[in-house]
Amino acid sequence: MILFWAIAAALAAVALALVLRPLLARGKAAPVDRGEANLAIYRDQLRELDTDLAAGSLAQADYERSRAELETRLLRDVVEEPAPQRGSGRGLALLLALAIPLWAAGLYFAVGNPRAIETPAENLQAMVERLAAHLRENPDDGAGWKLLGRAYASMERFPEAADAYAKAAMRAPRDAQLLADFAEALAMARGRVLEGEPEKLLARALELEPANLKALALAGTAAFTRRDYRAAQAHWEKMLRLVPAESEEGRSIQASIDEAKALAAQRPLKGRISIAKKLAAEARPDDTVFIFVRAAEGPPAPLAVMRKQVRDLPFEFALDDSMAMAPDLRLSGFPRVVVGARVSRSGDAAPQPGDLQGVSAAVANDAERVRVVIDQVLR
């Protein structure tokens, strides 16, 4: 469950305004060219859209569609501008201006309709390469590293995005939004895992800015993933106070709060999975272990599933409704269940001859000392 995609649209305008403020301030002494004028107009129009969205007079879908149209027009206009001259203040301003709509377009690729972006991908790539070249010659440009991180993230080049954000964070260690973006990119680069360094970055971001929406969203997701549902609920309740309650974002956050609250009240099914000594030599350390729960009397489909490896055995498990395979088939909905564990040599979830398996007796869905021994070979 990743709430930050739903909230990213609302955050985009704030991030753009913060980035453009010093850029536009530096441009006051120089003649205003077409690209700079477009940026100013775009910012004003985007601010109006944000105001309408916050006031509830503009639906989220209409907001995203209108914002995408603005981004497309701006991106096309900026791409047609002459290339910046190295060393000039105006050249650097245009260079950064090119990166900003690139990031915005990438964001729309993530949350909107990709077909609305008509600028060829090679133009976007050229902008990124230009910004990267500037930073190789100007490595102390913290704002530039931040923009490059956003550009790479929009292109799903997450390891490079994390590296760029790391360089930006070294130069701006108290930028809460930057730390939240860094945490997101690092988690994506590590296979969508927020545990560890990404979560530490989020904690630091919330120390600096307790009301940072992205940091709250990601921190809540991290807590939910490790089954600390009360912590997840607390983070998301803080988020809910920062958005209109009747907005699409507000309803989505409230649904997540309700889910976390229900799971916090649920007693998980707990137990231990082990493998019999007689079969231990037949399993490789990296073989997949599927832990599953089925209703003792009811549909054969699994009610909850967990995936581990043989090297993790013996393993203490805790299963609850967050691991449900279908919304209408939840562990809490069946009083008596059976817990099974299967070693899959192929990694396939479907049983295969030669797989190793063990199954418990029927137990209550909130039992705490279930024991499953993998002691059979499937024929």
Radius of gyration of the chain, Cα coordinates, nearest whole angstrom = 25
Q: How many CA atoms lie within 13 A of 233 on its CB side?
A: 13
Taking Cα atoms as reference points, which of 357, 298, 362 lies closest to residue 330?
A: 298
CA distances from 98 to 91, 102, 125, 325 (A): 11, 6, 11, 44
Dist CA 41 CA 221 (whole Å): 36
Dist CA 174 CA 168 (whole Å): 11
SS3 307: strand
The per-residue pLDDT for range 311-337, each reduced to its tens digit, is 999 999 999 888 887 878 889 889 999
pLDDT of residue 127: 82
SS3 328: coil
Q: Classify 48 in phi/psi space as left (phi over 0), alpha (psi -120 to 50) or beta.
A: alpha
pLDDT of residue 251: 92
Residues 6+ apart with CB under 8 A from 327: none
SS3 241: coil
Dist CA 142 CA 174 (whole Å): 12
Specify whether the CB–CB gap between 331 and 317 falls below 8 A.
no
Two tokens at 341? 């564990």
Quick check: 55 pLDDT over 50? yes
pLDDT of residue 43: 59
Q: Classify 291 in phi/psi space as left (phi over 0), alpha (psi -120 to 50) or beta.
A: beta
CA angle 185, 186, 191 (to 5 degrees): 95
Taking Cα atoms as reference points, which of 353, 334, 354, 283 lies closest to residue 312?
A: 283
Quick check: 78 pLDDT over 90? no
- Say whether domain 4-263 belongs to CATH 1.25.40.10: yes
Task: Write the DSSP symbol of residue 234.
Answer: H
Confidence of residue 95 (pLDDT cuts 50, 70, 90): very low
Dist CA 80 CA 98 (whole Å): 10
Mean pLDDT of 353-362: 94
pLDDT of residue 257: 93
Place of tokens 């993230």: 153
pLDDT of residue 176: 95
SS3 197: helix
Q: Do you know the residue count of the chain?
A: 379
Two tokens at 219? 């921190």
CA distances from 164 to 125, 133, 161, 203 (A): 16, 13, 5, 20
CA distances from 119 to 39, 116, 277 (A): 17, 9, 61
What is the pTM assigned to this prediction? 0.59
Taking Cα atoms as reference points, which of 124, 191, 179, 122 lies closest to residue 152?
A: 124
Specify whether the CB–CB gap between 131 and 143 falls below 8 A.
no
Specify whether the CB–CB gap between 292 and 315 falls below 8 A.
no
SS3 348: coil
Phi, psi of 304 (to 5 degrees): -160, 145
The per-residue pLDDT for range 227-284, each reduced to its tens digit, is 899 999 999 999 999 998 788 989 999 999 998 998 888 888 999 999 999 998 899 9
| pLDDT more than 90, % of the chain | 49
